[in-house]
Structure 1
Amino acid sequence: MRNLKLLQYFMLLMVFIAGLSLGALLNLEWKITFYNILPIVIAGLALFTTVYQTWATQKHNRLQVRPLITLEFQSDARPSLDGLHYLGFALNNTGLGPANISAVNYYFNNERVDSHKLVELIFSETEINWLHNNDIIDCNVTIFDLSNGTYLKEDTSIKLIKIEYWPGKNASERTPSDITPLFESLKNLLLEKLNITLKFSSIYDDDIKELDSKKPMIS
């Protein structure tokens, strides 16, 4: 896209120089010398320099605001019944400028689901529902709905998916082995069954990049 714009600028320059040359030839009745054409060449070179400097400045500005979005799996959880446990995904912008993020899509077993359905699946596909209903744990599941996209400033992050659980009132009657299936099933759901995709760009809305949690990021 940027090379196309530079080509367009160059074509405009050529048309400009051709127009000046034709005008000079007509005024001089097609009698032209080196000294007659020199001012036209100088003017053309000056215009080309201005156009190139403008293009280079725009390119530099784009590089200065280039974002870099990463998806990070975070876990502060153990197969035990003590304290607060956390698993989830964070969306990070570690680049040099704000990111324009298009819709974030969730896929469960290759089927697209919305954030509400994903919460339901977390409860139905893991041990968290049974443990919560029996007051062995208390829990909180939060999933950001970014179906309409968002902006993310540089050096900031969003907790895209946050699953927290802590001992419930009946936790003392259980052993750590009771919580192990929950710990393993949550990890398996987030890392194996779930896929997250999105697209992002700089504030210039060019050079759109794709992020897929199942594929390596290519910068």
Structure 2
Amino acid sequence: MDKIIFIDDDSDVRATYKLSMDILFSNDFEVICLDVERSIDEMIQVLNNIPEKVTYFIDEKLKHSGKAKYTGVDLIERIRIFDSKIPIYILTSYAGEIEKYLGDIEFVIDKNDWDLGEDESHLSKRFMRHINTYKDIKSQQAKRFEFLLEKSIFSTLTEKELEEFKALDLSRVKNITSEGIISDESLDELNAASDELDAIFTELSEDDDDK
């Protein structure tokens, strides 16, 4: 089952939003609410061990309890190394403080505005468009990887196809926990493969803001 990940360092907040998200996403998704790990590498390892993730909701003030050494934005920047397309939302009471980070996230949701009503229904529709777009992209990536894998078995890949294949293969790695493990060259290959799929992403999401 597809999984919605919510990360917050406050157990009461996690319990509250677990109920809200279960209602919002009905029975189509499993909502997993996670406490923070002390280091960002430990947090990434926990996330990489969860399959079928389709979106994240992350609180910005993850340092509030004193357990974590990183903010929500710090965590998002690390997640983007492994998955540049997955929808990510900041859920916070301090929305005005993180406007400049919108490049890494879909949008900021003010906790004070999160209630079960018409606004949330509108948000739900936007969430579903983002999730469905992401799943379409992942499906295209998987199909392309399988095509290149089969071709590599029965014939020879071109140099460009080989580079794409290596990048797509890298994107399937789930248990890398340190940014330093990935070389700049490997990241460039991964980004190149991701860029090649941007046309698909744009076509699927170009009407999002108008709906």
TM-score normalised by structure 2 residue count: 0.27
Max Rg structure: 1
Q: Please report the TM-score for the alignment, with normalisation by the length of structure 1.
A: 0.26
Q: Which has the higher helix share?
A: 2
